[in-house]
A and B are shown apart, each in its own frame.
Chain A
Amino acid sequence: MTAMRLWPSVLVGLVLLGAWEFVTRVLHVEEYILPAPDQVATTLADRWDSTLRSATWVTGTEMVLGFAISVAAGLALGGALHFSAVARRALYPLLIGSQTVPVVVLAPILAIIFGYSITPKLILVALICFFPVVVGTLDGLASVDPELVRMMRTLHGRRVAIFTRVEFPAALPSVFTGVRLAAAYAATGAVFGEYSGASDGLGHVMRQGVPQLQSALVFAAIVLLTAMSVALFVLVSCAERLLVPWHRHPIREGNNR
């Protein structure tokens, strides 16, 4: 993304920050109710070494690992469901069922089972993130032009060759739609996990900060969490551009024509 394309969103962000700063200063809002942006920035710098660096590292690890697990599991499951109609009938309802379980109630149960370790966080992140990947993969594979498959069969294509050379590449744009959603959900999963029991992490920092009315610290954690989410999202978008260069992105370029 070029600077030219980014500047409108940067401008909006700056205006919002300015308005926020202005309102808190003019109305003399207490820091514990709504900290001004400069107070958040100061806290971020002051508490970086003591608290925030290790918390960011812990949460970042949970997000990236959980995300990686969900992408791998989602691709594998999507592929398996595509190949076997029986598996599709057997597992698809369960898959949807898995998404109807509220994460909020699942998180404490996982914390009871697995304790304060990283495992329950990874499970939560993976559980939230893998669904869009599965659906994207399955949809992408199902909507491959059947004529392309027929064509491959007449060109010496066996099942595996058809999958690797036609079906999977053709499904990639749809797979990436799912993966981008997963990237956006990863932070939510990690924080839910940490809220239900953790000894470190940004979710842990927030849970500790709220009752102590350390609002600026909570906001600093939110800033870091958002930054990591955006970084993950940008990473996925870069991978998409690299792997799916033939696909014109409708949201990014659609209205410039």
Chain B
Amino acid sequence: MFARRSRLPTAQSPAALPPAQSPAVSPADALRSTGTGVELRGVAKRFGETAAVAGADLSVPPNSRLGIVGPSGCGKSTLLSMICGLTDPDAGTVDVLGAADAPGRLARCAWMPQRDLLLPWRGVLANARIPLENRGLSRREASRRVQPLLDRFGLAEFADHRPAQLSGGMRQRVSFLRTVAADKPVLLLDEPFGALDSITRADLQDWLRAMLADEPRTVVLVTHDVEEALLLCDRVVVMSARPGRIVASVDVPAYAGTGAAARRTRLADPDFIALRDTVLAHLESAR
């Protein structure tokens, strides 16, 4: 983290940022060079009398995608905040690409919650460039770097629209774009598509899959949707009801192609159906 700190602070030194021609999305190499991905050992968290998470062990290799499914209230979101560095566990260790302290984890993790959390007083472009402004870039420079992402996310013509003028799916895309612009090697997605209708959700899942295929990142996806986890991740773990612990882990073989057709083929694949049934069975016994 100290490598990053020295490279990226404050308004006085925008020149210390990565060269302008490097795209805003390439995660800083200093942060991803470590061999380990995300490692949780014996992590526990209590809120007052309630044990939210009890003894969770997890290991996510770099650039792999882990799905966490579990009954609601099982501590999935708490787990993500702990990985993220927004909260510290009461017991156990969390290691993100070699950083075990909360500020270090915070520097390495991008977090995207179910709600889009866009700032209503900023337009699409201005919302998306917040992480770059926070790192000390001028508004103009930040806009210039985010602009290519806007095109790629299909939001270019909405650059000046306020969030209130956008559909739920578009807002979520802006939120995701902002997360990507933060340029972190680890993505923590907390039911990112949970609030959307099923068609929009399927679109965004395909789109996310295509994006991650282009630019692999370490991803932890929390969801209550088993299909979503199996479509997007290469490993899915099941958490038990509170206090949450990991009760099962299923490896998901990769599938070829992107888009709606590939998704439909995948969903109809007997192996996929068997896998889904396995996870669902684990979920039922985990309640």
Contacts and interface: CB of A to CB of B under 8 A. Distances in A.
A155 B86 contact: no
Contacts of A79: none
A147 B115 contact: yes
A161 interface: yes
Interface string A142-166: 0001011011111111100100011
B227 interface: no
Given A147-B117, A166-B119, A169-B121, A154 B133 contact: no
B162 A246 contact: yes
Given A154-B182, A161-B134, A246 B164 contact: yes
B119 A150 contact: no
Contacts of B134: 152, 155-158, 161, 165
Contacts of B241: none
Contact of A155 (B81, B115, B121, B130): B130
B76 interface: no
A150 B164 contact: no
Interface residues of B, number: 26
A148 B117 contact: yes
Interface stretch (B103-111, B193-201, B208-216, B253-261): B103-111
Contacts of A157: 130, 134
Interface in B88-115: 106-107, 109-111, 113, 115
A153 B115 CA distance: 16
Interface string B177-209: 011001010000000000000000000000000
Given A154-B110, A155-B178, A161 B133 contact: yes
Given A147-B113, A154-B182, A155-B182, A165 B120 contact: no
Contacts of A153: 86, 106
B145 to A, nearest CB: 14
A151 to B, nearest CB: 5
Main secondary structure of the interface of A (DSSP, over half): helix
B120 A246 contact: yes
Interface in B118-146: 119-121, 130-131, 133-135
A183 B81 CA distance: 44
B84 interface: yes
Nearest to B188: A154
Contacts of B8: 156
Contacts of A158: 134
Contacts of A152: 130, 134
B106 A154 contact: yes
A125 B110 CA distance: 48
Contacts of B115: 147
B133 A165 contact: yes
A141 B74 CA distance: 31
Contacts of B120: 246-247
Contacts of B117: 145, 147-148, 151
Nearest to B102: A153
A152 B179 CA distance: 10
A158 B11 CA distance: 12
Contacts of B84: 154
Contacts of B184: 154
A149 to B, nearest CB: 10
Enumerate the 7 nearest inter-chain pairs by beta-carbon distance, A residue then B residue, closest first: A156-B134, A155-B131, A154-B111, A246-B121, A246-B120, A151-B117, A157-B134
13 contacts: A150-B86, A150-B111, A151-B117, A152-B130, A154-B109, A154-B184, A155-B134, A155-B178, A156-B107, A157-B130, A165-B134, A169-B121, A244-B121
Given A151-B113, A157-B130, 12 more contacts: A147-B115, A154-B84, A154-B110, A154-B184, A155-B110, A155-B130, A155-B131, A156-B134, A165-B134, A169-B121, A246-B121, A246-B164
